[in-house]
Structure 1
């Protein structure tokens, strides 16, 4: 008896430049074809797998273009991680992060932590292709940061697989012979490694973070692990649609510190679409959250950025030594959502039936 072997078709091969795809970037950094029509993902495609692979390959090309622009226009450079690898040795598994040349000595440092399934320099492939290459990549944020005198470090937490002599953020389809980049085997390990070996030795005493989705979780884990080393140097932590969750396993000091410095910018529920800018405390996030209204997938990134920049501005030149503000209760500060509500530790309420103190006359709008 013979069993019929079903042979899978070979994976499609896509162009490596925009011209091969038949697209260009217009003056608004939007993908357009030869007739000026903007790119849209075909949701009704019969071969959905092919369409998704095509869109992913196209977006990867666009992100590579934006990374090259960041290198050329802002002077960003690639740094090999783990440290100690020779740039000439391409045989050993390694990855790259992007940073400004002054990252080690700048006064203020901005660290960017992407979500899962995003390549180096990208916030959202969907935004890159469907909205704007500058905003969907990290180009726009880096430009604003450099204009304000920040040094920048861009994490590459999804580059954990080593395939055919290079890293990939995509899980290899063939599990045999999978090689992981040492010390960077997961997003959590990548973020922890970079914070310990790149951020800690840097001179900055004003470190700012922006994380997206799972990048926030990895960031929280790393900051918890390195709490004693970094607690007196962090100015602000801005999260967008965070998946991070805090619990009793974290020390009380860390939870207090986290609620004093972290803010999550999150999409509103449908019935709350009009509440853009409203602030509320989220027990799972362990910090105040700002509602960003309704929008399409990942558009919270676009809506949140002006809020985040104002938050960061309110934290410039702050005394970041935790012991100096640990027991203080701050009055509401415009553009600083951590001061809108008095956050509290749920443990402290277990034996206390009283309501937390709250100024009912306080306007929670930050629009």
Structure 2
């Protein structure tokens, strides 16, 4: 076994170093070890990295509760499919993750009736491209527009956390429930959001724009606010952040931006406190409220009802010319009153 051989080398190295006059032997052994490709050594007994290309071939499917289950055993996804082959198991997991991404894209198009828009809009054939998904009336609905921004990393459009989709269920890990309820890289995520604002959101007919921004998405929104402050103030009614990683000091947000965020933004953060519990903050940007979970990737899903109550209360306050109070509008007892959004 590879593990035994590796352990044997370490043992020999220790013995050699302990012997009188062993310096030359140690140097020679170090030279030998430097020539060993440990990655290749790990591959020696590893199966080929060929994996299924569909959920069906993986023998997995989503059940009625949106949970990924093995079609024969009914068991959740098993990461350690092959013992002592962590690298192979990781590659298998990543292969499944890519299939999940395509599955979510299909849901965006078929279940949510959204269309893919290639970015940049004037891209040449050989130019690197990205894309966003738009609802049919995203640019001409005169009433409301909801924009969803995921974090960075392996997650793509329509997802909050791939790990949740695989290990929990598709509702908690994807943006599908948010899209259904509201009826979402060119280079950096910040530039991507700015581009989408300039070419799509700012040209839409909606007079009430709302944002839900998770993790790095919150940072991207703050950058948008800094770069397009006047436009954002005139169009955006409320911003719900979930465990946002923005930092108004590092991003050099001005006083007027901070004042606007205090009135129009709310950040549901990972915490041991019950859902909607107000939390202290050292930054003068926006209220921080518990998402009712310590898991970063679950903050969006756990805050689902509270976010839409926040949006509804904002609209009600706008119509009555009063300022919404986040600490009041997010209480669970007000759920029925504030779920019209």
Scaled to the shorter chain, the TM-score interval is 0.7 to 0.9
For residues 283 and 298 of structure 1, the distance between their equivalents in structure 2, rounded to whole angstroms, comes to 23
Structure 2 residue corresponding to 1:108, chosen from 134, 138, 144: 144
Displacement of 1:46 after TM fit?
3.1
How many Å apart are 1:366 and its aligned residue?
Answer: 7.7
Give 1:287-298 correspondences, 5 Å limit.
287-298=286-297
* Residue of structure 2 in register with 1:174 after alignment: none
Q: Which has the larger share of helix?
A: 2
| Residue from 228, 235, 238 that aligns with 2:237 | 235
Structure 2 residue aligned with 1:92 = 127
Alpha-carbon distance between aligned partners in 2 of 1:24 and 1:65, rounded to the nearest angstrom: 11
Paired residue secondary structure (2:234): coil
| Separation (CA, whole Å) in 2 of partners of 1:240 and 1:331 | 19
Q: Deviations over 1:120-178 (max 9, x none)?
A: 211101110011123311111111110xxxxxxx2xxxxx4xxxxxxxxxxxxxxxxxx
Gaps of 5+ in 2: 1-30, 336-341
Q: CA deviation at 1:45?
A: 5.7
Q: How does 1:154-169 map to 2 (within 5 A)?
A: 154=184, 160=185
Once the two structures are superposed, residues 24-72 of structure 1 have per-residue CA deviations (whole angstroms, 9 ceiling, x without a partner) of 1111111111211122444996333332332232133123212212211
Alpha-carbon distance in structure 1 between the residues aligned to 2:156 and 2:280:
32
C-alpha distance in structure 2 between counterparts of 1:31 and 1:71, whole Å: 20
Does residue 245 of structure 1 match 2:247? yes
Q: Residues 187-206 of structure 1, C-alpha deviation per residue, up to 9 Å, x if partnerless? A: 11111111122111112121
Cα distance in structure 2, aligned partners of 1:43 and 1:217: 37
Aligned to 2:99: 61
The 4+ residue runs of structure 1 with deviation greater than 6 A are 363-367
Partner of 2:118: 80
Q: 1:338-365: CA deviations, max 9, x gaps?
A: xxxxxxxxxxxxxxxxxxxxxxxxx999
**Is the 2:243–2:296 Cα contact (8 Å) retained in structure 1?**
no
- The answer on whether the counterparts of 1:196 and 1:226 sit within 8 Å (CA) in structure 2 is no
Aligned partners of 2:190 and 2:223 also within 8 Å: yes
Report the alpha carbon displacement of residue 333 of structure 1 after superposing the two structures with TM: 6.5
Aligned to 1:140: 177
Q: Look at both structures and tell me which one has the larger radius of gyration over its CA atoms.
A: 2
Matches within 5 A, 1:6-45: 6=37, 8=40, 12-33=49-70, 34-42=72-80
Q: 1-side partners of 2:170 and 2:259: how far apart?
A: 37
CA apart distance, 1:278? 1.1
Answer with 65-74 or 257-266: which moved more. Answer: 65-74
1:257 aligns with 2:260: yes
Kept after mapping to 2: 8 A contact 1:188/1:218: yes
Which residue number in structure 2 is paired with residue 194 of structure 1?
196
What is the SS of the residue equivalent to 1:144? helix
Shift of 1:5: 7.0
CA deviation string 1:306-347 (max 9, x = no partner): 111111111226549xxxx8xx8x47477536xxxxxxxxxx
Contact 2:293 2:302 in 1 (8 A): no
